[in-house]
Amino acid sequence: MNEPIVDALRDRLGDAKVQTGDALDERRFDYWVLSHLRDWRGEPMERPGVVACPESAADVQTIVRLAGETGTSLVPFGLGSGVCGGIQPDPSVILVDLGKMNRVREIDETNLLASFDAGLNGLEAEEAVAARGLTIGHWPQSIAISTVGGWVSTRAAGQFSTGYGNIEDIIYSIEAVLPNGDLVELGKAPRAAAGPDLRHLLLGAEGTMGIVTGVTLALRRQPEDRVYAAYYTPSLAAGFEVQRNIVQAGWLPPVMRQYDASEVARNFKDYTSEDRGLLLMVHEGPAARVAAEMETVYEIARKGGLEEAPPAVGPHWMEGRNHVPSWRQLFEGNLIVDTIEISAPWTRIEAIYEDATASLRELEAVKIASAHSSHVYRTGLNLYFTFVARHEDSADMEGTYLDCWRRVMEATTRHGGGLAHHHGIGRLRKPYLEQELGESGAALLRRVKQAVDPQALMNPGNLIPDA
């Protein structure tokens, strides 16, 4: 990093908000498996030139304006839990760590709104509203290791999304600093018909369109009742059909998760020794609605040929649901593992499952290829594939890893599915984004980026397909 830029940052922000040294090592990459593999193998991983730690939106404006004047690139950093390589700075970059912007700004119990600084840890945000008997209802597995600004920037989905929606359904307003240094507040009422919804420029932009500095989320009152239910599925198709019938009839258990037999054998072996799948549900809300939903869903499941499983499956899942894997332990055991989430309409999802898992199993190194669904819509659902590959020599892991991803992306495209349900694009999926958006769609995204960030300073190399 050019010393005068570091000096100018110190002048304008104060020394305490500018970090060099070890702080650079700690922010070299996010949770992407491949970055961890390269680092574990001792491959050189570049560091940002300097870390800026703003404490307010005004500080972010100062940083962005300095970047514009000097033509310096910026990489926003929440808590680094992204899994697609969205954070890969080099020494020419100012990394903007939002960690000091961690205030609960306001909780409005009448309008059910809560405003937070963008760098606030997600679990701390949830705990702040829970203390008032409220909930955000957004429970990504990474809730304790991600920020509310990161949720917006990656279009995150929580485990209770079937009932409560994804982050784009929960967001009320977004405060952000644009690449020209302007501060915008997008969204100020429950709904607007005021031209295109500009919040969507930042939802899923992964740091390429500006820096989110604050978010206001719509809350819920904590549910009166919560009940678990579970069913064995004789086939994947039977479980999908039951889920379709439930949501299309207007019932919305916040959690519906269907596991294939391979995942049942790994994660729920105490609940069945047979080779079969499992559908677990969490019903919650007003007690009368929960009771009615349980009863009707039970009937739909029975008619669909599903057999009741012990409801204890639900609490078992709840207890272990936020486990964060250690990639390094897996590498040391000669394994590389990842998950890939896609989505598709009901009529296409099974073909994608069959094609993708068969294609993964063609690789000799792949020991496990499985999937579950976890986010359900009237129009279809997601699939969350897991692959586990084994190599004695870690030098072979990267090739297999990328091949696994290519196979799932291609199988999904072949059958008309969507390539990214909630983890975003980063550098990992960037080569496939044109498959998702089409050539004209990708060209439109590049033009939007050019208009918003004409100097191309915001998180360069991330998300936007190269021209």
- According to the binding rule CB under 6 A, does residue 53 interact with ligand FAD? no
**Residue 78 sits in the site that holds ligand FAD (CB under 6 A):** yes
CB of 79 or CB of 217, closer to ligand FAD: 79
Interface residue with ligand FAD among 98, 170, 238, 442 (CB under 6 A) is 98
| Residues facing 217 on adjacent strands | 114, 171
Binding residue for ligand FAD, selected from 27, 423, 429, 449, defined by CB under 6 A = 423
- Is residue 115 a contact point for ligand FAD (CB under 6 A)? no
- Closest among 51, 92, 57, 55 to 181, alpha carbons compared: 57
Query: Alpha-carbon distance 260 to 361, whole Å?
Result: 15
- How distant, in Å, are the alpha carbons of 151, 338, 395, 401, 405 from that of 391? 34, 15, 8, 11, 17
Whole-angstrom distance, CA of residue 276 vs CA of residue 170? 35
Q: How far is the CB of 324 from ligand FAD (least distance, A)?
A: 4
Reading the block at residue 256, the tokens are: 């519906």
Residue type, 274: E
Q: Is 126 in the site for ligand FAD (CB under 6 A)?
A: no
The single residue among 459, 461, 464, 465 that binds ligand FAD, judged by CB under 6 A, is: 459
Q: Is 140 in the site for ligand FAD (CB under 6 A)?
A: yes
Total binding residues toward ligand FAD, as defined by CB under 6 A: 37
CB distance 155 to 212 below 8 Å: no
The pattern of x and - marking residues 177 through 206 that bind ligand FAD according to CB under 6 A reads -----------------------------x
66/87 with CB nearer ligand FAD? 87
**Sheet strands (E) in 366-460:** 366-373, 376-377, 380-390
- With respect to ligand FAD, which residue has the nearer C-beta, 175 or 293? 175
Transcribe 222-245 into DSSP letters: PPSEEEEEEEEESSHHHHHHHHHH
Identify residue 150 by its one-letter amino acid code. Answer: G
Q: Which of 63, 64, 79, 457 binds ligand FAD (CB under 6 A)?
A: 79
Smallest distance, Å, CB 101 to ligand FAD? 8
Q: Specify the DSSP class assigned to residue 138.
A: -
Question: Do 216 and 115 form a contact (C-beta atoms < 8 A)?
Answer: yes
Whether 306 and 243 have beta carbons less than 8 Å apart is answered as no
Residue 418, classed as helix, strand or coil, is strand
From candidates 147, 373, 382, 400, binder to ligand FAD by CB under 6 A: 147
Q: Stretches 134-142, 246-254, 364-372, 391-399: which one binds ligand FAD (CB under 6 A)?
A: 134-142
CB of 459 to ligand FAD, least distance (A): 5
Could you tell me if 184 and 175 are in contact, meaning their C-beta atoms sit under 8 angstroms apart? yes
**150 near ligand FAD, rule: CB under 6 A:** yes
**Spatial distance between the Cα atoms of 78 and 140, rounded to a whole number of angstroms:** 15
Site for ligand FAD contains 82 (CB under 6 A) = yes
Label residue 133 left, alpha or beta by phi (over 0 means left) and psi (-120 to 50 means alpha). Answer: left
Give whichever of 160 and 232 is closer to ligand FAD, judged by the CB atom. Answer: 160
Residue closer to ligand FAD, measured from CB, 57 or 129: 57
428 binds ligand FAD (CB under 6 A): no
Q: How far is the CB of 74 from ligand FAD (least distance, A)?
A: 9
Per CB under 6 A, does 171 bind ligand FAD?
A: no
Q: Does 461 help bind ligand FAD (rule: CB under 6 A)?
A: no
What is the CB-side half-sphere exposure of residue 142 using CA atoms within 13 A? 20
The yes or no reply on residue 462 touching ligand FAD (CB under 6 A) is: yes
Query: Under the criterion CB under 6 A, does residue 331 sit at the interface with ligand FAD?
Result: no
Instruction: Note whether 465 binds ligand FAD by CB under 6 A.
Output: no
* Candidate ranges 10-18, 135-143, 261-269, 283-291; the one touching ligand FAD (CB under 6 A): 135-143
Strands (E), 181-287: 183-186, 211-218, 220-221, 225-233, 255-259, 277-285
Q: Are the beta carbons of 153 and 212 closer than 8 angstroms?
A: yes
Residue of minimal Cβ distance to ligand FAD: 150
| Helix (H), strand (E) counts: the chain | 16, 19
Residues linked to residue 171 through DSSP beta bridges, in sequence order: 217
Tell me which amino acid residue 239 is.
G
**386 is an interface residue for ligand FAD by CB under 6 A:** no
Considering the complex, what minimum distance in angstroms separates the CB of residue 35 from ligand FAD? 11
**Counting contacts by CB under 6 A, is residue 142 touching ligand FAD?**
yes
Name the residues that contact ligand FAD, by CB under 6 A: 30-31, 75-83, 86-87, 98, 118, 140-142, 146-147, 149-151, 153-154, 156-157, 206-207, 211-212, 324, 422-424, 459, 462
